[in-house]
Amino acid sequence: MKVPAITSPAYRSLFLAALLLAGLFFSRALLSLLVGMSVLLLLIPPVRKEFTAVFKKPLLFLVTGIPAFYLYLFFIDPDVYTLERLLFYLSIIGMLCLAHYMAATTDLLLPFLLSLAVLSTLPTLADMLLNTGLAPLYGKGQVAYILMKGDHQRFSIWISGCLALSWYLFVLEKKKWALFYILFFSLFLVVLSVRTGWLFTILMTFAGGLMYLKKKRSPRLWWWTLLAVLLMGLTAISVPFVRHKIRYIKWEWSDRREAEKLGASDAVRRMVNERTVKLIADHPAGLGSRKAEKALRDEMDAWYPQLQVKYEWPFNQYLYWWLTAGWVLGSLPVLLMLFLLYRLYFTRNYFTAVWVLFMAITCVYESTMEMQYGLFLAVFFTVLIYLYESGLRMRGIIKKGTR
C-alpha cells in the first residue's frame, strides 16, 4: 500500500476520522459540529460532482421525504421541537458527505478506524478485569465503564460496524490480517454481554462465514468451520459475564411482577411499549412529536406511579413512528427499510444488507433512529459499507481536484 504525502487529502481524511471518533466517544457537541460542517465539503467541485452522482436517489428522498414527514407532524402538532427533529434528520446529508469524502480520498481509512476501535475497547476491558467493586452490576452481566457516555447499546453498534468492515476486508479484499479484528471484535461483543452485540456477532458470523465458504468451495473447510463455531459457543457460555447475563434475562421474564417493581431492563421495555400500543390504538392518525411524548409520559404516570424515571419514547422505533405519525405515514419508513433490504439483496450488496437488517432488528427493542449516536452509527456504517462493497469509492474523485 502506497503511503500518501503528509499534505495530501488522505491525511486530511484521517484527521477528520480522528476528530469524528473523538466526538463519538467524548463529545456529542463535537460530533454534531463535524456532521454539520461536513456539508461544506460540497463546495469542492470534484467532491460535489461525484457525491451527487453516487447519492442521487438517496438525496432525493432526504430533501423531499424527511421534510414531508415532519411537516405532517408539525401540522398535527405545531411545535418548535418538531422542526428541531427535522433538522436532526436532515443532518444525514452531512453524514453522507463525511463518509464519502473519507472513503474516496484514502486507502488507510479502514485500518485506521479498526485500530482505533480496538483502542476504544481498552477502558471497558480494564474495568471488567481490574475493578472488583462493581459486583452487583457484573452480576447482571453488565459492564460499568464504557465510552460514549456509558451508552452500552450504541457502543455495541459501533463495535458491530467495525466487525462488519473487518469481514468485508477478509472476504472481499482477501486481507488475512483482518481475521485478527474479526476474532477480537467478536469476542469483545460476546464478553460485553449486551444483546445487541450478541445479535450482530451471530448475524455477521453466519453471513460472512457463508460468503467466505462459498468462495473457497472446500467441503473439509465447512466441517472445520462447524467445529469452530461449536467451540466458540461453548467458550462463550463459559465466560462469567455471559452466564450472568443469561441468568439475569431468565429471571426478568420468569418473575415479571418482581422485575417490574425493580424497574428491570426488559420489564420497563415491556411496560412502556404496552402503553404505547394502547395510545396508538386510540390515536390512529398520530399525535405529533411533542404531544406523543407528553401522552406517553402521562400514561406511564397513571399506570405506574411508582416509577421514578419519566419515559417519553417507546423502546421500539416502529411504535414511535406509528405513535407520532399514525398508521399510514408512520409505516412509510418501515416500507422504505424493506425496499432497501430488497434492493441490497438483489444487487448482491450482502454485507450492507446484513448491516441494515441488524439495524432494523435493533429498532424492535430501541428507538435507535431517534438518538444522536444511534442515527449517526446507523447511517455512517450503512454508507461506508455500501461504498466499499459496491466499489463506488473507487471512482477517482478527489485525487486531482483537492490537492
> Does residue 278 sit within a domain?
no
> Does residue 307 sit within a domain?
no
Look up the pTM and report it: 0.89
Start-end of H helices in 27-140:
28-37, 45-54, 56-76, 80-90, 92-105, 109-130, 135-139
126-135 pLDDT, tens digit each: 887 776 555 5
Lowest mean pLDDT among 44-58, 110-124, 132-146: 132-146
> Does residue 230 sit within a domain?
yes
User: Mean pLDDT score of the chain, rounded to an integer?
Assistant: 85
> Does residue 360 sit within a domain?
yes
Report the phi/psi class of residue 299: left, alpha or beta, with left for phi > 0 and alpha for psi in -120 to 50.
alpha
> Does residue 390 sit within a domain?
yes
Stretch 212-228: mean pLDDT, rounded? 71
On the question of pLDDT at 402 being above 80, the answer is no
**How many domains is the chain partitioned into structurally?**
1
Instruction: Give the structural domain span for 214.
Output: 9-252+314-394
**What band does 221 get if pLDDT is binned at 50, 70 and 90?**
low
CA distance 164 to 182: 8
103-118 pLDDT, tens digit each: 988 889 999 999 999 9
> Does residue 284 sit within a domain?
no
Residues 6+ apart with CB under 8 A from 64: none
231-253 pLDDT, tens digit each: 766 766 777 777 777 777 777 76
